[in-house]
Amino acid sequence: MTANTTSSSSKDRIVIFDTTLRDGEQCPGASMTFEEKIEVAELLEDMGVDVIEAGFPIASQGDFEAVHEIAKRAGDNVTIAGLARAISGDIIRAGEAVRVAKRSRIHTFVSTSPIHLAHQMRKTEEQVLDIITATVTQARNLVEDVEWSAMDATRTPIEYLVRTVDAAIKAGATTINLPDTVGYAVPEEYAAMFREVIERVPNSDKAIFSTHCHNDLGLAVANSLAGIAGGARQIECTINGLGERAGNAALEEIVMAIRTRRDVMPYDTNIDASMLTRASKLVSNVSAFPVQYNKAIVGRNAFAHESGIHQDGMLKNAETYEIMTPESVGVKATSLVMGKHSGRHAFREKLKDLGFEIGDNALEDAFKRFKDLADRKKHVYDEDIEALIGDGMAVAAEAIRLLSLTVIAGTGGAAKAIISLDVEGAHVTKEVTGNGPVDAIFNAVKAIVPHEATLSLYQVHAVTEGTDAQAEVSVRLEEDGKSVTGKGADPDTMVASAKAYLSSLNKLMVKRQRQHAQAVNA
């Protein structure tokens, strides 16, 4: 594509210009190594990006070498662009960097808005027009594909903007970029700007028009799509919206908006959307910029549901709450996050997935304990539910139950445990000290339920990660040559310890009863 035409393929095809390696890397703290840039460029090409702006060759020797290497490795279906200011030396350097590519582009730019001309350029409008003609002509003599950008186009008077675009096309520019450099525009006026410029520039059909939007007001994606409605056929964007200040238009959001709402945006891109999540993770890793959890398309929560109402709808028909499939962007599956907002339907399905088939009464009991756990724990993982169900099944048949526990421990003296137990219907409370909190708990239990069993194992491990992880404790008691093992799980390690000890003690009591019954029958 080298010009706007009326053919269906040209009209409906949107060129995706990725500037992650140039504008994205200008984000403070997001610099990438030579090897990381190569890796990102290769993934972008595999994904189907049409134009990769590989860097700003004049910026440093390292940038030049990265652009040159990316250009050298690029295949037949991708254009490699190098950025250049409207300065002769910049353009020469960019040409040297990209000329080894099978398809190369020089992207040159100059300011056009009154505030930039007065305070940054310190040039008159006529002087800038002369610069445009000279530098675009120079670039066109080096490569066939030249992109020209009117920096701060959205704050440039339309009359002057038309003159600059006309001059750039006459000098040989094949792509005209009208960027919202400072994220100032709103969609309606951005679309109107493209319509008016395309209509008023006599030779506008000889170039593709492009958007380049920054996200200072959170409108970068909306403005980019509005630009397409106004006649642009190239969108400049970055993976994860990486870029200066508040960032750029996010490639993944643009691609999926076009794909999902083709009814109102009848366009196509060449992007393999199933690689979007992979690209997002790679760029996040190499730039050291984490992706926010609620980021559209590629955020951790983009396909996660915790609300009971939403989970119920998802289990009945995914289209009730998902407008695209997770697989379409490279996510394995929808995630029904188990938390305090989850409902019984989702909880029952989760239990089935984990291999638990329980009756209605047991479900109600398990669901209540799950809700109690969810109120105390930020993330409830599958392992938490397995531990909770297993612990609940063990507790169901126990004659001794834990009612409450308070533990006081520290550097000031002996640890103290205040424990209340339900012993076959009777509620008993004891306060006992010990050599540490666990010893105090076990001594308190022994004070209420005397026994001669010895503790042969006490083991703790975290069911999941994090400081709020649920602890699972294993306790083994031995008596008269026989041993029993009990387990307990709880976010509080001391409570889990008490549960495990009581579980063992209950099992020991059952063994005693069986032995007694056998002795009587004998």
CA dist 501 → 16, 224, 259, 485 (Å)? 63, 63, 58, 9
CB 182, CB 135: distance < 8 Å: no
Q: Cα separation of 179 and 188, whole Å?
A: 15
Q: Is 521 annotated as a binding residue?
A: no
Q: Is 248 annotated as a binding residue?
A: yes
Q: Cα separation of 119 and 163, whole Å?
A: 21
Could you tell me the two tokens for 449? 């339920």
Burial of 90 from C-beta contacts in 10 A (0-12 / 13-18 / 19+): buried
Q: Cα separation of 430 and 425, whole Å?
A: 16
∠ Cα 498 415 501 (to 5°): 15
Dihedral angle over CA of 345, 347, 353, 356, nearest 10: -110
CB 289, CB 298: distance < 8 Å: no
Nearest to 209 by CA among 408, 347, 3: 3
CA dist 344 → 53, 363, 380, 386, 394 (Å)? 51, 9, 15, 16, 22
- SS3 (DSSP) at 342: coil
CB 265, CB 228: distance < 8 Å: yes
Q: Which residues contact residue 320 at a Cβ distance below 8 angstroms, ignoring those fewer than 6 apart?
A: 310, 313, 314
Q: Is 23 annotated as a binding residue?
A: yes
Q: Cα separation of 73 and 101, whole Å?
A: 7
Residue the block writes with tokens 């409108």: 219
Binding site: residue ranges? 23, 212, 214, 248
Binding site for Mn(2+): residue ranges? 23, 212, 214, 248
